Amino acid sequence: MFENKKIFILGMAKSGFEAAKLLATRNNKILITDQKEQKEEHVSELKRLGVEYIVTDHPEEILDQSYDVLIKNPGIRKDHVCVEKARKLKIPVINEVEMAAKLLPKNVHIIAVTGSNGKTTTVTITYEILAAMGFPVYLVGNIGTPLSSIVNQIKENDMIVIEVSDHQLCDMYEFHPNIAVLTNLSEVHLDFHGDYKTYKNVKKKLFQNMTTHDIAILNHDNYDVMELTSDLKCKKLYFSGTQQKDCYVMNGYIWYQDEKVIALDDIRVQGMHNYENIMCAILVAAQYGLDREVIREVLGNFGGVEHRMEYVRKLHGRTFYNDSKATNNKSTEIALDAFTAPTIVLLGGLDRGQSFDELEPHMEHVKHVICYGETKDKIKAFCDRIKKDCIVLDDLEESVKAAYNLSDEGDVILLSPACASWDQFETFEERGELFKKIVEELN
């Protein structure tokens, strides 16, 4: 499988680059295309491996019937002309995860996590607990490390914890996790999928190949999760912040099967959204032999993931937080609810056609809004409607400096954009790193 094939990779990025490297070790003829020039060291490495790389706005002009498969970058839409041409030519269209999973050894334990929010935190905690329990485990996927990059290191019975996005699930057909986690569902990425029903059905694809021997870990408090997964064939385990299910929060503790696992006060990252992520990880760990001491140690030290409610610095009584990973309203709602101090929030980014009205009930402690990017006019109109002070600027640097100048001692200055970064940045990580750099340079 994936040996001596002719393979077309549409879109470089990390996943395309690692897919090309992996496939090049299996005597395949590979062409990779992208609209943008790539790093010279990446291009040189691909050339050394015999991979052909072409920069073009019209990859469909190169694609022909001689190709065995097209591997598509997850961010490329299904109606892209090159993808449509591949389907007309009956060339299979998959993505890097689907391809790499087919090349794994037998008996690898795959723990896959998806959901509208909480994926990165959940996979990180799960990985840290399993690693601390002594298992050979790898952390990959949408978190930033492509599965392709570790395939040649994996041995039988190793574990893989993988974050899977809805964009990735679109082009996955045979991927089969042993444990699949659905953290929650809310109306996000509708610009990509068209409507909420389609988005939910894409998320459900994570479970499509699971059998009665596999396990789904599900959010009992989320109506859409419960409705979507009602007919799954696999075993189902539930977590809840309100009811006594397989794992739950009650009386200041997280419980598993009616036994205390950890006191909430002993957990470094607070808030129900974090407890939900932790319960997912506990339910995964329980399938391999729950070690409460390990869990207490990991959760006592875990301070969160980068770009998610990340403390940056305190300057003249103002506290700065980087929540660049908040690319939708729900994530920003969680961030706003976390603070009772007067807050100046930086909002804005790619316009996906979304409304910001959902933020209104969460704006109680917001004293100023600074908005920028493609959505700045929408955000200004929203703020005017709810009578919240709002300043419109062009970019992140201007916005940070304006927030600092407006702030008083005791204020929180929060980057939580509620938008994707792609109008001005390549990734949310790039946006978050710039925010931190600007903040560190303030005096």
Enumerate the domain spans of the chain: 6-94, 101-301, 310-441
Residue 427 binned pLDDT confidence (cut-offs 50, 70, 90): very high
* Nearest residue to 75 via CA among 175, 168, 203, 194: 168
Q: Give long-range contacts, CB 8 A cutoff, 24+ apart: 358-364.
A: 358/329, 358/330, 358/333, 359/329, 359/332, 359/333, 359/418, 360/386, 362/332, 362/333, 362/336, 362/337, 363/336, 363/388
Structural tokens at position 372? 């920028």
- Rounded Cα distance, 441 and 227, in Å: 49
Report whether 343 belongs to an annotated binding site: no
pLDDT in tens, 127-166: 999 999 999 999 999 888 999 999 999 999 999 999 999 9
pLDDT computed for residue 401 by the predictor = 97
* Nearest residue to 437 via CA among 312, 344, 327: 312
Contact predicate 138/101, CB 8 Å = no
pLDDT computed for residue 143 by the predictor = 81
Average pLDDT over residues 382-395: 97
- Rounded Cα distance, 339 and 361, in Å: 14
Report whether 324 belongs to an annotated binding site: no
Report whether 88 belongs to an annotated binding site: no
- Domain 101-301: which topology? UDP-N-acetylmuramoyl-L-alanine:D-glutamate ligase (3.40.1190)
pLDDT in tens, 207-244: 999 999 999 999 999 999 999 999 999 999 999 999 99
pLDDT computed for residue 190 by the predictor = 78
User: In the CATH scheme, what architecture does the domain 6-94 have?
Assistant: 3-Layer(aba) Sandwich (3.40)
Report whether 230 belongs to an annotated binding site: no
- Rounded Cα distance, 273 and 227, in Å: 20
Residues 6 or more apart in contact with residue 259 via CB below 8 angstroms: none
- Rounded Cα distance, 203 and 201, in Å: 5
Report whether 33 belongs to an annotated binding site: no
For residue 261, is it left (φ>0), alpha (ψ between -120 and 50) or beta? alpha
pLDDT in tens, 186-205: 988 778 888 999 999 999 99
Q: What are the backbone angles phi and psi of residue 26, rounded to the nearest 5°?
A: -120, 30
Same fold for the pair 101-301 and 310-441: no
Structural tokens at position 442? 């303030």
Percent of the chain with pLDDT over 70: 100
pLDDT in tens, 56-81: 999 999 999 999 999 999 989 999 99
Average pLDDT over residues 328-351: 95
Q: In what order do the strands lie in the sheet with 310-315?
A: 310-315, 318-322, 412-415, 343-347, 366-371, 390-392
Report whether 120 belongs to an annotated binding site: yes
Token pair 């955000």 is found at: 379
The letter for the amino acid at 396 is: L
The letter for the amino acid at 97 is: V
Q: Tell me yes or no: is domain 310-441 CATH 3.90.190.20.
A: yes
Contact predicate 105/138, CB 8 Å = no
Residue-averaged pLDDT of the chain: 96
On the question of pLDDT at 39 being above 90, the answer is: no
Residue 289 binned pLDDT confidence (cut-offs 50, 70, 90): very high
pLDDT computed for residue 194 by the predictor = 84
Residue, of 368 and 270, whose pLDDT is higher: 368
- Rounded Cα distance, 57 and 31, in Å: 15
Report whether 119 belongs to an annotated binding site: yes
